Amino acid sequence: MSLSNLIQNWDSFRKRRPYEDQYKDAPYKWAMVIDLDSCIGCNACTVACYAENNLAVVGKERFGKGQAMHWIRIERYWGEGEALETEFPERGAQYLPMLCQQCEAAPCEPVCPVGATHHSPDGLNTQVYNRCVGSRYCSANCPYKVRYFNWWNYPERAWPNPLELQLNPDVTVRSKGVMEKCTFCMQRLRAGQDKAKTAGRLLADGEVLTACAQACPTSAITFGNLADKNSKVARMWKNQQVDLAKNAQDKSEEGVRGYRILEDLNTYPSIVYLERLRNFAA
Amino acid sequence: MSTGNMDRRDFLRVLGISGAAATLAGCGHTSIESGVEEVMSYVQPQDFVVPGIGVFYSSTCTQCGSGCGIMGKVREGRVLKLEGNPESGISGGKICGLGQAGVQAHYNPDRLHTPMMNIEGGLVPISWERANQLLDEHFGTKSSLQGEQIAFLTGGVSGHQRVVLENFLESFGSTQHVCYDAISTATGRAASKTVLGAEQPLWNFSKARLILSFGSDFLGNGVSPVYMAREFAKFRKAPRGTLIQIEPRMTLTGGNADRWYPIKPGTEGILALGIAHDLLQHPEFSGKVPQEVLDLVKNYDRDAVSEVTGIGADAVRLIAAQLWNNTPSLVVAGPAVEGHAYGFSNAAAVQLLNVILGNRGNSLEGQSEHPFPQMTPTLGSYRALAELHKKMVSGNCQALLIHGTNPVFTSPTHLEFSEAMKKVPFKVALVTHIDETAGQCDLVLPLLSAMEDFGTHIAEYQPSGVELMLQQPLMEKLYPETKGFGDILLDVLKKRKPQEYAVFPDYYSYLKAAVLKAKPVFHSDEPDEHFWETALMNGVVKWEGKPTDLEAKMVPLEVPEPHGLTTDYPFYFVPSIRPDMRDGRHAYLPWLQESPETMTTVVWDSWVEIHPKTAAQMQIKEGDVLLLQSATGSIQAKAYIFPGIQPDTVSMPLGQGHTQMGRYASGVGANPYKILDPIFDAHTGELALHATRVAIRKTGENQKVVKDEGPTNLQNGQKLVATLSADQAKLAREI
């Protein structure tokens, strides 16, 4: 996207995609479901992400300045309205695993002056590190605050010898001045896709998982291919009555609990959350 | 695995990833050019190794005692990432954050590379030759040490490491294997044994409709958190079970409760008796309950209980009704219950509810019988350390070996453990890092990391049958001067008992022989090599077993009220256990330091949790540096305003406040162990972790609390985390 695009086509861009059946003939469209009733807030996913994606440990001072690099984080809320007026959080805490929502109409994409953030054919919102010039417009425009900027040259600081031996060779170690974000573990996807392609087939459901989904002790995270109507993730989206191409869902059935965060901003996220449940009779 | 394991180790060495290989010999000569090492071309790699492709090897996680099966992704001779091993019935292919950080323990920049010796008050590096000389002087054939003069102080140990360790002690005629755990559950286990007939029964979440937890953080740091989390997730599927949590400070598990109640610390047993009182009103019980139990509960009517515990009379009625209407249920007790002067009675009163509700045989069963009693885990206690302490002070203990525990950091001030260390002439630490205890030893031996060593492990909690877990090296050792725990002990044993041990060149061969010797127990008729390779490949050998019956009984109890608050010490002090830091042994792992503690989202620090109401009364703001004063001592930390806490209580997480253990641990936060009062459980003698009372004083200083949550932490009317009433959801229809 360029400046002219921004000025002329903003509205059409924001509403153009995803159009219905956009991924009908595509082999892959990666998506996720996170069940907030299963998530116990244990942080296994966040540490798994540090291990898989070479995330830098920034230390206390920089963390305090908002420079933490956690691509996935557990937000903890105490509720809203009435829940906050009680003396104690009687219904427990609210845990929210927050990561890049891989929006179909991502607000971060059109504002990049150099096209470093773009949409991949399999529906990922990607960041091209060697194009990024560090304008940080994308981060400013992200409503989920899941883009992380390298304020420092972490390779020199975050992995004192021999910690660097743990770095995943399949993932670029980012340097100062570039933006980074969750990739849905693209290195795993690409390796899996290549393997499947060599064998002349498509990836099977569950054959490749993101690091967070693989680690999650409660299996709260389901990851898969939305273009495959039989995949678990596609069946869950359908079962929960969430349509990728809508910005307001028709909820005809009672008790469905799937929703997308900040959907009314026309971001068309690729992650469906399932509402947390509480037995209010207890 | 298509080749023998030794071949793979050789291969890893050839790949030249080890520390020695990375070192250049100077003047353009590398170790390869000088012929020290060889280069093998990737054109003809060994079987199953493809450059650029990671291969997974099974092993066992040693970050805690749960014994989760793991897989290490190994590529070009380096272990990169750990995943859960689906073969393991405990981890089932899943892994927690603490487990993931195992690779950082291995690659930690502050690892110990060489043996060290204390010379004039400081540790200096020495050669293994000198270390062996010292070991030989003290533990060799000419050693005069006998019986109680030698002791081995460890954390939890199981499998063949425990066998070798105890054989080592036996060669001196000693049985002094002292197992210390600073967050011991010995009191709760003793209460469970008395009432339910098992220290740790099986919790069948699948058969329970309601879990009533008194301060048990089974999802965060109980006996097997990953397994419990997996089972809890199933418990939450249709028909969804309910969790009620009662505790003074909200734990991770409490955060997942359908209903959470704050209770005055130490009154959990009284509440349990109040609930029992309500339950026993049901006509079904008439004539079936021993008179002493009826006598025990008769004074605990709702109003009386409500006054002591701070839980409303209506709530007591509601909890009892929920239990009655949702059978079978499961009632569990955690550290908050047992950490008092009468923690045993407190925990026993909670377990009594299980007996009354008839949960035995349903949601509660006994663990399977055990084919290897000599390899079961030794579980630590405080009392064991206190008894060792007496021997150290009296001068009976002449030599002390320490492994897997850090009592100088975790023991309370009043024990004066550091002083007692000075009375022992020869102290040896077997460690991967120099911690506070190793810093006071005479000889410090550098161990292989868990990613470099062989071993077997047996977990305390065995969900089905018994699993013998195998730990194998995931890569060649990083530092040539490090040595395996088993190898060090075996080397001594080979000298002391050559007839029995000389046949084993190393711990690997000992372990292999030992596992193969156990082959008949597994009813296997496979050839030895095949059995061994399959075991290593799977990372686990399973022994089929059935759950056993529990012999539960109603025991008469006396549950006194806790000692109250005074004007000098007007707050209850609750040290909380972080799922990642535990007793502080993991504070040197940067991923865990930077991982926000879930309930507060604070990183890299210690903090004092205080209820908003109390904070407002005392005009305390977030970040105000508070001085916590107990009868024993004082520490400082920043205030964090936290709604999930009983208002007369303040809480601090354990695990920080290290003065050693490397760059990531030392100088971070404060150590609450050091202000714990000398109060002990009357029945077990365990240190009562939750019985200290404190006063709070503002120091006038305010510092920023570094945390992940935003300044308001509000959802501002947006649907971020939505909550639906459980009866409206249609879980059975979901995918």
DSSP string, B300-341: --HHHHHHHH---HHHHHHHHHHHHHS-SEEEEE-HHHHSST
Residue B553 within any structural domain of the chain: no
Residue B7 binned pLDDT confidence (cut-offs 50, 70, 90): very low
Is the pLDDT score of B6 beyond 50? no
Same domain, B142 and B174: yes
Q: Which of A41, A219, A278 sits opposite B258 (nearest CB)?
A: A278
pLDDT in tens, B559-618: 888 888 999 999 999 999 999 999 999 999 999 999 999 999 999 999 999 999 999 999
Q: Which of B78, B595, B604 sits opposite A47 (nearest CB)?
A: B595
Q: What is the mean pLDDT of residues B166-181?
A: 96
Count of Cβ atoms closer than 10 Å to residue B273 Cβ: 25
- Give the pair of three-digit tokens for residue B288: 């079936």
Handedness of CA B565, B643, B334, B590 (dihedral sign): negative
Q: How many domains does chain B have?
A: 4
- Give the C-alpha separation, B411 to B676, whole Å: 9
- Give the pair of three-digit tokens for residue B528: 């030895």
- The answer to whether the complex's ipTM is over 0.90 is yes
- CA-based nearest distance B43→chain A, Å: 20
Q: Which strand (E) or helix (H) includes residue B137?
A: helix B128-139
- Give the C-alpha separation, B188 to B334, whole Å: 7
Q: pTM for this structure? A: 0.94
* Nearest to B166, CA basis, from B5, B320, B373, B340: B373
Q: Which amino acid is at B468?
A: L
- Give the pair of three-digit tokens for residue B726: 């459980």
Residues of chain B in contact with residue A76, where contact means CB-CB under 8 angstroms, are 255, 598-601, 709, 713
- CA-based nearest distance A119→chain B, Å: 25
Question: How many angstroms separate the Cα of A155 from the Cα of each of A67, A146, A147, A159?
Answer: 15, 21, 19, 6
Residue of B nearest to A74 (CA): B598
> Which of A45, A47, A58, A205 should one mutate to test binding to chain B, selecting the residue with the greatest count of B CBs within 10 A?
A47
Count of Cβ atoms closer than 10 Å to residue A174 Cβ: 23
- CA-based nearest distance B603→chain A, Å: 7
For residues B346 and B188, is the Cβ–Cβ distance under 8 A? no
Selecting from 3.40.720.10, 3.40.50.300, 3.30.70.20, 3.65.10.10, what CATH number does the domain A25-274 have?
3.30.70.20
Between B313-325 and B302-309, two packed helices, what is the crossing angle to 10 degrees? 110
Residues of chain B in contact with residue A70, where contact means CB-CB under 8 angstroms, are 594, 708
**Cβ separation A40–B219 shorter than 8 A:** yes
Same domain, B528 and B636: no
Residues in B 150-189 with any Cβ partner in A closer than 8 A: none
Residue B712: per-residue pLDDT:
80
Residues in B 297-326 with any Cβ partner in A closer than 8 A: 318, 322
Residue A7: per-residue pLDDT:
61
Residue B145 CA to its chain's centroid (Å): 32
* Nearest to B177, CA basis, from B185, B189, B187, B165: B165
Question: How many angstroms separate the Cα of B467 from the Cα of each of A223, B103, B227, B715?
Answer: 30, 24, 14, 46
- Give the pair of three-digit tokens for residue A30: 């990666």
Is the pLDDT score of B123 beyond 50? yes
For residues B636 and B626, is the Cβ–Cβ distance under 8 A? yes
Residue B16 within any structural domain of the chain: yes
Q: What is the mean pLDDT of residues B392-408?
A: 97
Same domain, B314 and B433: no
Same domain, B686 and B634: yes
Q: What is the mean pLDDT of residues B377-403?
A: 97
Residue B317 binned pLDDT confidence (cut-offs 50, 70, 90): very high
**Cβ separation A218–B604 shorter than 8 A:** no
- Give the pair of three-digit tokens for residue B158: 């199981």
Q: Which of B94, B613, B724 sits opposite A87 (nearest CB)?
A: B613
Residue B557: per-residue pLDDT:
82
pLDDT in tens, B41-66: 656 666 667 778 889 999 999 999 99
What does DSSP assign to residue B283?
A: G
Residue A80: per-residue pLDDT:
84
**Cβ separation B725–A278 shorter than 8 A:** yes
A46 touches chain B (CB under 8 A): yes
B728 touches chain A (CB under 8 A): yes
A112 touches chain B (CB under 8 A): no
For residues B3 and B47, is the Cβ–Cβ distance under 8 A? yes
Instruction: Give the range among A3-7, A154-158, B30-34, B402-406 with minimum mean pLDDT.
Output: A3-7
Count of Cβ atoms closer than 10 Å to residue B54 Cβ: 18
Find all residues with CB under 8 Å of B565, minimum gap 6, and list them. B571, B572, B648, B693
- CA-based nearest distance A114→chain B, Å: 31
**Cβ separation B252–A59 shorter than 8 A:** no
Residue B689 within any structural domain of the chain: yes
Residues of chain A in contact with residue B718, where contact means CB-CB under 8 angstroms, are 261-262
pLDDT in tens, A23-36: 888 999 999 999 99
Residue A20 binned pLDDT confidence (cut-offs 50, 70, 90): confident
- Give the pair of three-digit tokens for residue B98: 């603490």
Question: How many angstroms separate the Cα of B520 from the Cα of each of B3, B233, B298, B507, B524?
Answer: 24, 37, 55, 22, 6
Domain containing residue B539: CATH number: 2.20.25.90
**Cβ separation B94–A216 shorter than 8 A:** yes
Instruction: Give the range among B164-173, B291-300, B533-542 with minimum mean pLDDT.
Output: B291-300
Residue B560 within any structural domain of the chain: no
Q: Which of A68, A256, A261 sits opposite B719 (nearest CB)?
A: A261
Residue of B nearest to A95 (CA): B721
> Which of B17, B275, B734 should one mutate to test binding to chain A, selecting the residue with the greatest count of A CBs within 10 A?
B734
B226 touches chain A (CB under 8 A): yes
- Give the C-alpha separation, B110 to B127, whole Å: 19
Is the pLDDT score of B236 beyond 50? yes
**Cβ separation A277–B734 shorter than 8 A:** no
- Give the C-alpha separation, B554 to B196, whole Å: 9
Same domain, B149 and B97: no
Find all residues with CB under 8 Å of B229, minimum gap 6, and list them. A40, A42, A217, A218, B94, B96, B219
Domain containing residue B437: CATH number: 3.40.50.740
Count of Cβ atoms closer than 10 Å to residue B566 Cβ: 10
**Cβ separation B240–A277 shorter than 8 A:** yes
Please give the share of chain B, as a percent, with pLDDT higher than 90. Answer: 87
Residues of chain A in contact with residue B723, where contact means CB-CB under 8 angstroms, are 79, 91, 94, 275-278
Question: How many angstroms separate the Cα of B182 from the Cα of each of B205, B370, B687?
Answer: 28, 27, 9
**Cβ separation B733–A255 shorter than 8 A:** yes
Residues of chain A in contact with residue B726, where contact means CB-CB under 8 angstroms, are 277-280
Same domain, B408 and B358: no
pLDDT in tens, B670-713: 999 999 999 999 999 999 999 999 999 999 999 999 999 988 88
A79 touches chain B (CB under 8 A): yes
Same domain, B264 and B168: no
User: Among B341, B365, B389, where does a domain finish?
Assistant: B365
pLDDT in tens, A244-268: 999 899 999 999 999 999 999 999 9
Same domain, B501 and B531: no
pLDDT in tens, B60-110: 999 999 999 999 999 988 999 999 999 999 999 999 999 999 999 999 999
Instruction: Give the range among A124-128, B438-442, B562-566, B607-611 with minimum mean pLDDT.
Output: B562-566
Residue B17 binned pLDDT confidence (cut-offs 50, 70, 90): very low
Residues of chain A in contact with residue B80, where contact means CB-CB under 8 angstroms, are 51, 166-169
**Cβ separation B225–A42 shorter than 8 A:** yes
**3-state class of B148 per DSSP?**
helix
Domain containing residue B301: CATH number: 3.40.228.10
Q: Which of B100, B253, B729 sits opposite A257 (nearest CB)?
A: B729
- CA-based nearest distance B505→chain A, Å: 30
Between B485-496 and B507-517, two packed helices, what is the crossing angle to 10 degrees? 90
Residue A16 binned pLDDT confidence (cut-offs 50, 70, 90): low
Residue A167 CA to its chain's centroid (Å): 22
Residue B8: per-residue pLDDT:
42
Residue B554: per-residue pLDDT:
76
- Give the C-alpha separation, A115 to A92, whole Å: 43
Same domain, B284 and B387: no
- Give the C-alpha separation, A267 to A263, whole Å: 6
For residues B540 and B87, is the Cβ–Cβ distance under 8 A? yes
Residue B15 binned pLDDT confidence (cut-offs 50, 70, 90): very low
A163 touches chain B (CB under 8 A): yes
Find all residues with CB under 8 Å of B523, minimum gap 6, and list them. none
* Nearest to B232, CA basis, from B326, B327, B332: B332
pLDDT in tens, B456-473: 999 999 999 999 999 999
- Give the pair of three-digit tokens for residue A202: 């498509």
For residues B330 and B210, is the Cβ–Cβ distance under 8 A? yes
B96 touches chain A (CB under 8 A): yes
Same domain, B384 and B357: no
B720 touches chain A (CB under 8 A): yes
pLDDT in tens, B480-514: 999 999 999 999 999 999 999 999 999 999 999 99
- Give the C-alpha separation, B652 to B632, whole Å: 16
Residue B235 within any structural domain of the chain: yes
Number of alpha carbons in the 13 Å side-chain half-sphere of residue B214: 33
* Nearest to A47, CA basis, from B101, B252, B664: B101
- Give the C-alpha separation, A101 to B283, whole Å: 56
**Cβ separation A259–B719 shorter than 8 A:** yes
Question: How many angstroms separate the Cα of B489 from the Cα of each of B163, B258, B449?
Answer: 11, 50, 16
Residues of chain A in contact with residue B719, where contact means CB-CB under 8 angstroms, are 259, 261
Q: Which amino acid is at B474?
A: L
**3-state class of A98 per DSSP?**
strand
Q: What is the mean pLDDT of residues A143-163?
A: 93
Residue B287 binned pLDDT confidence (cut-offs 50, 70, 90): confident
**Cβ separation A48–B97 shorter than 8 A:** yes
- Give the C-alpha separation, B259 to B85, whole Å: 34
Where residue B131 falls (left for φ over 0; alpha for ψ -120 to 50; beta otherwise) is alpha
> Which of B614, B716, B720, B727 should one mutate to test binding to chain A, selecting the residue with the greatest count of A CBs within 10 A?
B720
A82 touches chain B (CB under 8 A): no
Number of alpha carbons in the 13 Å side-chain half-sphere of residue B59: 30
Residue A247: per-residue pLDDT:
87
Where residue B619 falls (left for φ over 0; alpha for ψ -120 to 50; beta otherwise) is left
Question: How many angstroms separate the Cα of B118 from the Cα of each of B115, B139, B468?
Answer: 10, 18, 38
Backbone φ and ψ for B234, nearest 5 degrees, come out as: -70, -35
For residues B458 and B159, is the Cβ–Cβ distance under 8 A? yes
Could you tell me where the DSSP H helices lie in B463-527? 485-496, 498-501, 507-517
Residue B487: per-residue pLDDT:
97
Q: Which of B107, B594, B715 sits opposite A80 (nearest CB)?
A: B715
* Nearest to B404, CA basis, from B585, B169, B224, B223: B585
Residue B420 CA to its chain's centroid (Å): 26
Is the pLDDT score of B33 beyond 90? no
Is the pLDDT score of B289 beyond 80? yes
Same domain, B575 and B622: yes
Q: Are strands B78-84 and B69-75 parallel, antiparallel or unpaired?
A: antiparallel
Residue B252 within any structural domain of the chain: yes
**Cβ separation A277–B724 shorter than 8 A:** yes
Is the pLDDT score of A239 beyond 60? yes
- CA-based nearest distance B594→chain A, Å: 7
Instruction: Give the range among A219-223, B292-296, B310-314 with minimum mean pLDDT.
Output: B292-296
Same domain, B54 and B148: no
Token pair 């005069």 is found at: B144
Q: Which residues span the domain enclosing B654?
A: 571-702
